[in-house]
C-alpha cells in the first residue's frame, strides 16, 4: 500500500510539472500558450479573391487572445469599403455599423469570430477590370506591468549592498517596460565595463522607465502606440519623489501617475529619495525599496486585402 501511494504521488507530481511547464517558460520568455502578440488573426479566409460581377465575397477570421489576461475591448473596422454595400457578422460581439465589430472582455486563450461581406457591382456597373484594395484595422486595449527592487546603502557603514538590484519578469504583451536604475559602482573586468546598481541614503537617484515595442510585425503594420498621460503609474515602496528634481509623474509618494503622453519607444524619468531608515536598517546600514510600474494602452494594427473583378470574368458573366 505504501509503494502504491508513493507511485500515485510521483505520477501526480509529474503531471503537475508537465502542466505548469506548458504554461510557463522557466527561461524567462513567454510560455507555450501565451504570446506577446496578444491579438492574432486565425483561420483567415477570403471566400473569393476574384469574384464575378453581382456576387458576394467575404473576408472571415477569428481574433485570438494569446495573452494571459482578458482583453477588455477589441475592434475590427473597415473604414473604407470603396463604396460597396457591406454587412458584418460579429459572433459574440457587437455590431457598430455595417463595416465594424466590437468585442468586449475576451478571456485569455479564447477566440471571437468576424466576417464582412461585400456585394460586388453588377456587370452593367463595371467598366473594365476593377481592383478593390481594402485597408482595415484591429485595435485592442491591454495593460502591462513590471517590478524592480533597488538596494539602498548607508555608505558611512557599508560600501556595497548585501543584495543586488533585481528586475521582475516583463508582463506578456506587445508593449513592455524596462528601467535605467541608479549606478552605484562601475568596475572593469576583462576589458568589459560592469555596472552595479544601488542608491545611497540621503542622496537623490534617478530612474528612467523605458517603454518598448516587442510585438512582431507578422500580425500586420503596427502603428506607434501612445501611452496617454495618467495611464502609466509607479507604486513606490520605501521611497518618495525628490521634489527638487525633475519628475515626469504627479504625486510625491504611494502611487504616482504620468504627466505626459509617451509614444513608444519612449521614456519617463523621475528622481527619488529613500524614506528614513528604520532602527534595524540603520543598524545594518542597508534597506531595499521597490517600484511596481503599471501601464495601459490601445494597440493598433493595420492590414489590407485585395479583391479583383477581371475583364474575363465580366465577359463570362
CATH number at residue 45: 2.60.40.740
pLDDT value for 273: 93
| 275 and 209 within one domain | yes
How far apart are the C-alpha atoms of 66 and 16, rounded to whole Å? 22
**Are 82 and 151 in the same domain?**
no
Q: What is the pLDDT of residues 88-123, one digit of tens each?
A: 999 999 999 999 999 999 999 999 999 999 998 887
276-294 confidence digits (pLDDT tens): 999 999 999 999 999 999 9
| pLDDT attached to residue 109 | 95
Quote the domain boundaries for residue 234. Answer: 143-300
Closest CA to 196 of 273, 188, 204: 188
Q: How far apart are CA 285 and CA 153, in angstroms?
A: 6
Per the domain annotation, does 34 fall within a domain?
no
The reply to whether 154 and 294 lie within a common domain is yes
* Residues 272, 288 within the same domain: yes
Residue 111 lies in a domain: yes
Residues 306 and 265 both lie in one domain? no
Alpha-carbon gap, residue 235 to 293, rounded angstroms: 6
Residue 22 included in any domain: no
Output Rg (C-alpha) for the chain, integer angstroms: 27
pTM for this prediction: 0.83
Q: 192 and 61: one domain?
A: no
Would you say residue 2 lies in a domain?
A: no
Q: Are residues 248 and 147 in the same domain?
A: yes
- Does some domain include residue 275? yes
Kindly state whether residues 108 and 86 are assigned to the same domain: yes
Tell me, yes or no, whether 111 and 187 share the same domain.
no
Q: Is residue 53 part of a domain?
A: yes
| C-alpha cell recorded at residue 116 | 464582412
DSSP secondary structure, 247-260, as one string: BSEE-SSSEEEESS
pLDDT-above-90 percentage for the chain = 69
CA distances from 38 to 29, 32, 149, 299, 309 (A): 14, 13, 27, 10, 35
Is residue 305 situated within a structural domain? Answer: yes
Residue 154 maps to a domain: yes
Q: How many structural domains are present in the chain? A: 2
**Mean pLDDT (whole number) for 165-194:** 88
Report the C-alpha gap between 280 and 284 in whole angstroms.
Answer: 7
130 close to 84: Cβ distance less than 8 angstroms: no
Q: Measure the CA–CA gap between 227 and 177, rounded to whole angstroms.
A: 12
Long-range contacts of 157-163 (CB under 8 A, 24+ apart): 157/284, 157/285, 158/284, 158/285, 158/286, 160/184, 160/185, 160/196, 160/198, 161/198, 161/286, 162/284, 162/286, 163/288
Are residues 285 and 176 part of one domain? yes
Cis peptide before 177 (omega within 30 of 0): no
> Are 266 and 310 members of one domain?
no
Residues 170 and 73 in one domain: no
What residues does 17 pair with on adjacent strands? none
Amino acid at each position: 500500500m505504501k509503494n502504491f501511494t508513493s507511485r500515485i504521488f510521483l505520477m501526480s507530481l509529474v503531471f503537475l510539472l508537465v502542466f505548469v511547464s506548458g504554461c510557463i517558460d522557466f527561461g524567462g520568455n513567454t510560455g507555450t500558450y501565451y504570446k506577446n502578440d496578444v491579438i492574432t488573426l486565425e483561420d483567415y479566409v477570403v471566400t473569393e479573391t476574384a469574384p464575378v460581377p453581382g456576387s458576394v465575397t467575404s473576408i472571415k477570421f477569428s481574433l485570438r487572445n494569446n495573452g494571459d489576461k482578458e482583453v477588455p475591448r477589441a475592434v475590427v473596422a473597415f473604414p473604407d469599403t470603396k463604396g460597396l454595400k457591406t454587412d458584418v457578422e460579429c459572433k459574440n460581439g457587437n455590431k457598430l455599423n455595417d463595416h465594424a465589430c466590437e468585442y468586449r472582455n475576451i478571456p485569455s486563450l479564447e477566440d471571437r469570430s468576424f466576417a464582412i461581406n461585400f456585394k460586388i457591382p453588377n456587370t452593367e456597373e463595371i467598366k473594365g477590370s476593377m481592383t478593390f484594395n481594402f485597408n482595415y484595422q484591429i485595435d485592442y486595449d491591454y495593460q502591462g506591468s513590471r517590478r524592480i527592487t533597488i538596494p539602498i546603502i548607508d555608505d558611512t557603514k557599508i560600501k556595497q549592498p548585501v543584495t543586488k538590484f533585481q528586475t521582475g519578469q516583463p508582463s506578456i504583451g506587445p508593449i513592455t517596460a524596462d528601467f535605467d536604475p541608479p549606478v552605484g559602482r562601475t568596475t572593469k573586468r576583462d576589458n568589459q565595463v560592469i555596472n552595479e546598481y544601488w542608491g545611497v541614503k540621503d542622496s537623490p537617484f534617478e530612474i528612467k522607465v523605458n517603454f518598448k515595442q516587442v510585438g512582431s510585425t507578422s500580425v500586420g503594420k503596427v502603428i506607434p502606440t501612445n501611452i496617454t498621460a495618467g495611464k502609466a503609474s509607479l507604486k513606490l515602496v520605501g521611497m518618495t519623489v525628490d521634489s527638487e528634481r525633475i519628475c515626469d509623474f504627479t504625486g510625491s509618494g504611494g502611487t504616482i501617475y504620468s504627466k505626459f503622453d509617451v509614444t513608444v519607444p519612449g521614456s519617463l524619468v523621475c528622481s527619488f529619495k529613500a524614506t528614513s531608515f528604520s532602527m534595524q536598517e540603520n543598524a545594518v546600514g542597508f534597506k531595499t525599496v521597490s517600484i511596481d510600474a503599471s501601464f495601459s494602452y490601445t494597440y493598433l494594427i493595420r492590414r489590407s486585402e485585395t479583391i479583383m473583378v477581371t475583364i474575363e470574368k465580366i465577359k463570362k458573366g
